[in-house]
Structure 1
Amino acid sequence: MSSATDVHPTKPSLSSNDSAVLQALFDAESAPSSAVKIDSALPSLPDISSQELESLRNRERELIRRLQSPNPPRGTVESTIMEFDNLIKEYPQYPSAYMNRAQALRMLFDLDDEDALFIPENADIASRIFSDLGQAVTLATPRSPADPVSPLQARILADAHTHRGYILLKAAKVRQGGSDGGPDRLRGLEKDRLEEMASRDFFLGGRYGNRIAQQLAVQTNPYAKMCGAIVKEAMRKEIEGV
């Protein structure tokens, strides 16, 4: 295992794009964008001492090991989430714990059902996942976009933004089908607005090193999509001799 932020749940049966997004959450080979200043001399996390961090990461690794079998029992997943709850109560400023709890909560769903996150009975868990990802982003983000980040900060931000972008993109697809399920904070938002939010998260996930997020940022960018539509229409007219 490459870092304490790596979790390997059962491989989901999703569309090719959705599978790529979920796979990207656990991509240990991602490299940050050249636009991001990575400074290995910085403290790994600004509010956690190096001694505390070593202890926390050891605790995290032990919890993650419980989830790395192909099909961990639901009871194991639930008890691990409770341990993450305790860890967060002790260290509420530790972003990686929120990131990993969100991934553990995701494992409560039937991963073979790509819309499981958005059925009404899963609304509370979906809201917890979305909230945890937001908290991980808040705690790991530097005060200014120009400020350098540590390698660990970059990894957490890449994972959290990409995972949140995935949820937003799925919410947009579900909204197109007429459903308003999913995290409470997304209720009532229109499909186009959700896609814009997903595009921004994919942009930031890519900026901090997730290659799949970089690609999806382009695909979901409303201006790029508009330009693509214009080009397609111009080509159609040219072919038809209009």
Structure 2
Amino acid sequence: MATLSTRDSSVLDAIFNGGGDLTAEGLCGAGSAPLASADVSATVPASITPAIPKAQLSEIKAQEAKGVRLAEQDDLEAALTIFTTIVQGCPVYSSVYNNRAQVYRLQREFTLALQDLDKAIEYANGDASVLRQAYTQRGIIKKAQGDSDGAFADFEQGGQYGNPLAKEVAVMENPYAKLCNAMMQETLKRLYP
């Protein structure tokens, strides 16, 4: 059985998994390290928001959990009220923007959801759990609105921060993978009519 060369493996990895870059240097190993293995948290400034005092943070998290429970029980208005109160009291708490965006998305208020997701990303301060949710959720909305390029970029980011759904969707939405798949389908049609 034939084995793939290092270069061929690099090409396939770049196309299907988003690893590496699609330049001659990148495919031959002279380029930068694959993006999929990059430490994305290193690209975020160490501190862009003031620290939230522990006592306040505990109360915020308790209220946020209450809002999440209400949303899970389909009481979206009550959840929205709680999340909005948290935002008003602590506008730099990134996680609540994710949760409020989810409620807005369920209410089909996509503009408000996107605004909150932008805020979640802005205030996340490198928090991978917030970033993976915010980018993935934003990708879902952009995909629903027909913004394939924006959705692909957000799914890639969500995947890099650890969201498995975002990783899977980014691979499926990869334009190079789509092109390669279309070429393979055409070849198979010719070989097996």
Q: Fold match, TM over 0.5?
A: yes
Give matches, 1:56-135, under 5 Å.
Answer: 56-69=60-73, 72=74, 76-108=75-107, 117=108, 125-135=109-119
Residues 187-220 of structure 1: CA distance to partner in whole angstroms, max 9, x if unpaired?
A: xxxxxxx112111111111111111110100111
Distance 2:172 2:118 in 1: 23
Higher deviation after alignment, 44-53 or 91-100: 44-53
Any gaps of 5 or more consecutive residues in structure 1?
Answer: 1-32, 109-116, 118-124, 143-148, 173-193
Match of 1:154 in 2: 128
Distance 2:159 2:188 in 1: 31
Structure 1 segments of 4+ aligned residues over 6 angstroms from their partners: none
Distance in 1 separating the partners of 2:153 and 2:69: 32
Deviation string for 1:207-239 (max 9, x for gaps)? Answer: 111111101001111121112112222232333
Cα shift readout 1:104-146 (whole Å, capped 9, x = no counterpart): 22343xxxxxxxx4xxxxxxx2211121112111221x5xxxx
Aligned sequence identity (%)? 31
| Structure 1 residues 44 and 63: CA distance shift in structure 2, 3 A | farther
Which of structures 1 and 2 has the larger relative contact order (alpha carbons within 8 angstroms, sep 6+)? 1
- Mark the CA change 1:239 to 1:64 in structure 2 (over 3 Å): closer, same or farther: closer
CA shift at 1:49, angstroms?
2.9
Could you tell me how far apart the structure 2 residues matched to 1:36 and 1:50 are? 28
Summarize the alignment of residues 1-242 of structure 1 with structure 2, pairs less than 5 Å apart.
35-36=38-39, 46-51=49-54, 52-69=56-73, 72=74, 76-108=75-107, 117=108, 125-140=109-124, 149=126, 153-172=127-146, 194-240=147-193
Which of these two proteins has the greater Rg computed from alpha carbons?
2
Q: Deviations over 1:172-197 (max 9, x none)?
A: 2xxxxxxxxxxxxxxxxxxxxx1121
Quick one: structure 1 residues 219 and 37, their matched pair in 2 at CA, closer, same or farther if it must change by over 3 Å? closer
**Structure 2: runs of 5 or more not aligned:** 1-35
Contact 1:162–1:210 (8 Å) recurs in 2: yes
Residues paired across the two proteins, number: 154
Change (3 A) 1:86 1:232: same
**What's the TM-score, normalizing by structure 1?**
0.56
